[in-house]
Amino acid sequence: MKIKLYICCLSLSLLVGISSCKKDFLQKKPLDAYSETDVWTDLNLVQTFVNSKYQALPHFYNWGAAANGPGLSTASDEGYSKFNYESVFLWNKAEVSPDNLSMDSWSPDYSFIRDCNVFFQNIGAVPGDAAMKKRLTGEMKFIRAWCYFNLISRYGGVPLVTKVYSLTDANVLSPRNSYQECMTFVIQELNDAAALLPDSYSGSDLGRVTSGAALTLKSRALLYAASPLNNVSNDNTKWQAAADAAKAVIDKGTYKLYSGADYKQLFLEKFNSEVILCYGMNSTYWDSMLDVMIAPNGYHGWSVYAPSQNLVDDFEMKNGKMISDPASGYDPANPYQNRDPRFNAAILYNGTSFRGRPVEYFKGGLDSPQSQVENWNASLTGYNWRKYADETHDMAATGSNQNWIIFRLAEVYLNYAEAEYELGNMDLATTYLNLVRSRSSVNMPPVTASSTALRDAIRHEREIEFCFEGLRFYDVRRWKIANITDNKPLMAVNISKNPDGSFTYNYFALQQRKFIDANYLFPVPRYEIQKNNLLTQNPGY
């Protein structure tokens, strides 16, 4: 591919906290005019450069960014994007094409990759503390690995570019490497990063990438590589590699499942024991609007992202049975009673208490499309996110400052359970599945299923445990079941309040959805193929 060439400059906003004294004020260099030469002679400036590259990692919202959570969520069956942010309707309606893109990350990821390559080209000559240089090298190895993992999860094999091209280079166009070649590179980068990075940080360095984070990305990457989408022959050695990678994180003993009494606090208590890597939400304007974007209109929220009825129906009852099971005890007149505790922690529904009052999704209620309070911002599904919502935050005064969780131990446990299931180790798979279900704030009955029912239980657990976290989009693709899950109408609920105070629930299709086989991968953007005639398009586009 053709790589964009530019001189790296650091903006004023990235230099907060870095200052120097000069005797002659008039000779002081403007803070927004640091040249590439300046950066690679000052290790503090190098660290600021590295800090800015963390934007490549997943966070709540960043228009045009390389990675995000809510967009991926609403492009799957778990959610709806009221205002079609990130053009996700193109995925919902199977209308994505090389010219009509949604959540395209090709340019953003390669931009970050180029920055990483610039770093590796120059870091060796930078004077300063060797330990800091080692750590920064580990961080950039991780970020470059993330970008390539993100690219191959979306597009399949992509060009592997590991050098910085100049204007005098004759051959700057590259064909696509295979998925396996790219995955091998990602795993090597993560092995290198894990060896270079510390196990933990303290103080102002909290939130930086650790060796555990590198090993966790390795676990996710190898699980994806072993899955049906990328492992057509079901090669058991790939499942073994995925199991070994997950077990390596577990064996570190650094992390523990969240032990608080209230599951929803897992997403509000920063750097709790379950969190392996997170992204500070107060770093950008859009991220800091998390609470506004997910809150109901009656609280002056925008309802940008909303849960689907499809997801609501997939939460089990407290007894571990699905609502479709006649023995579950599900009451259609009281559909939200006696559900998995994660339901109450993840989803705002009619009648639940939020910010000091019951939520009113019924027709004419404060949070309904008929409300007198900003009804244009009402949820159209009849639900809003509760996961990540900070009820103490004054949305009118300040931006949100939660940390967006990128990796947590529950994912590693379920990665391990899935890989061990595929290897035929049913007892191990069941043990780690039930560890997630049995934590004190969840306390769901243990799964006792076997055979394919156990596989389905592990997949179902991922759907519930990681709702709105951006994993569902990739899970249904790597399992090759998106042709089922995403080929159904997106369902919602209309609620009427009866004279006796009870409610009537009517379910309807909010959006007709369609999935085609081409959509298992993203299309390679037309703008890239026009620049690089060595690129080939993905099937079906």
Q: Which helix (DSSP H) or strand (DSSP E) does residue 144 occupy?
A: helix 130-155
Q: pLDDT category, 500, cuts 50, 70, 90?
A: very high
Beta strands at 384-385 and 353-354: parallel, antiparallel or unpaired: unpaired
- Closest by CA position to 219, among listed 239, 189, 235, 242: 242
Q: How far apart are CA 368 and CA 476, in angstroms?
A: 31
Tell me: pLDDT of 393 over 60: yes
Q: How far apart are CA 292 and CA 298, in angstroms?
A: 11
Q: pLDDT category, 7, cuts 50, 70, 90?
A: very low
- CA quadruple 152, 158, 159, 165: dihedral positive or negative? negative
Average pLDDT on 278-286 reads 71
pLDDT tens digit sequence for 191-211: 999 999 999 999 999 999 999
452: its two tokens: 């394919």
The reported pLDDT for the residue numbered 105 is 94
This model's pTM is above 0.85: yes
- Closest by CA position to 10, among listed 46, 58, 60, 41: 46
The reported pLDDT for the residue numbered 10 is 31
Number of helices followed by number of strands (H, E) in the chain: 18, 10
Q: How far apart are CA 454 and CA 247, in angstroms?
A: 20
Beta strands at 503-511 and 490-497: parallel, antiparallel or unpaired: antiparallel
pLDDT tens digit sequence for 112-135: 999 999 999 999 999 999 999 999
Tell me: pLDDT of 8 over 60: no
CA dihedral 408, 410, 415, 417 (to 10 degrees): 160
Count, residues in the chain: 541
Average pLDDT on 464-485 reads 98
- Closest by CA position to 220, among listed 238, 245, 196, 199: 245
The answer to whether 474 and 415 have CB atoms below 8 angstroms apart is: no
The answer to whether 540 and 516 have CB atoms below 8 angstroms apart is: yes
pLDDT tens digit sequence for 51-110: 999 999 998 875 555 557 799 999 999 999 999 999 999 999 999 999 999 999 999 999
The reported pLDDT for the residue numbered 66 is 52
Q: How far apart are CA 404 and CA 58, in angstroms?
A: 8
Contacting residues for 389 by C-beta, under 8 A, at least 6 apart: 264, 291, 294, 295, 348, 354
pLDDT tens digit sequence for 398-427: 888 899 999 999 999 999 999 999 999 999
Q: Where are the domains of the chain?
A: 1-54+86-174
